Amino acid sequence: MNYVSIVKSINITIIALCLITILIMVIEYANLKSKLTHQELQNISLNKALDNQNKAIQKLYIDIETYKAKKPEIKEKIIYKYKSLPVSNNNSCVEILDSIKLKVKTWYGVQE
């Protein structure tokens, strides 16, 4: 073999290696592009889920503020419901019945 044929074979080998390298890079680029698209879609769905969670948290915060505003009113109802009622010393049936009716009305929050 002479020097020219060796150089030609080396050139062909180098060109083949370059083409193989370019082919591998194109395949890797397509693969990474596909993964990036998938990640972008996943990011969009996660952002939507996060927005929904933020809306739910905001609604709960508003509900808590509403509860805090109504808390004294609720507490007053509970205190009134469980307050002790006077018991008469007279043991007539009518007075005992009236006392029981008053306690039942108080328990169920019926105003007279």
Domain ranges of the chain: 3-75, 82-112
| Paired tokens of 14 | 């180098």
CA distance 97 to 32: 85
State the pLDDT at residue 87.
Answer: 56
Q: What is the pLDDT of residues 2-57, one digit of tens each?
A: 888 888 999 999 999 999 999 999 999 999 999 999 999 999 999 999 999 999 88
State the pLDDT at residue 83.
Answer: 58
Which helix (H) or strand (E) segment holds residue 10: the answer is: helix 3-81
Q: What is the mean pLDDT of residues 66-94?
A: 66
The DSSP 8-state label assigned to residue 1 in this structure reads: -
Confidence of residue 99 (pLDDT cuts 50, 70, 90): confident
Residue pointed to by tokens 């596909």: 34
Picking from 85, 110, 82, 109, the residue whose alpha carbon sits closest to that of residue 99 is 85
Cβ contacts of residue 106 below 8 Å, gap of 6+?
Answer: 80, 81, 83, 85
State the average pLDDT for the chain.
83
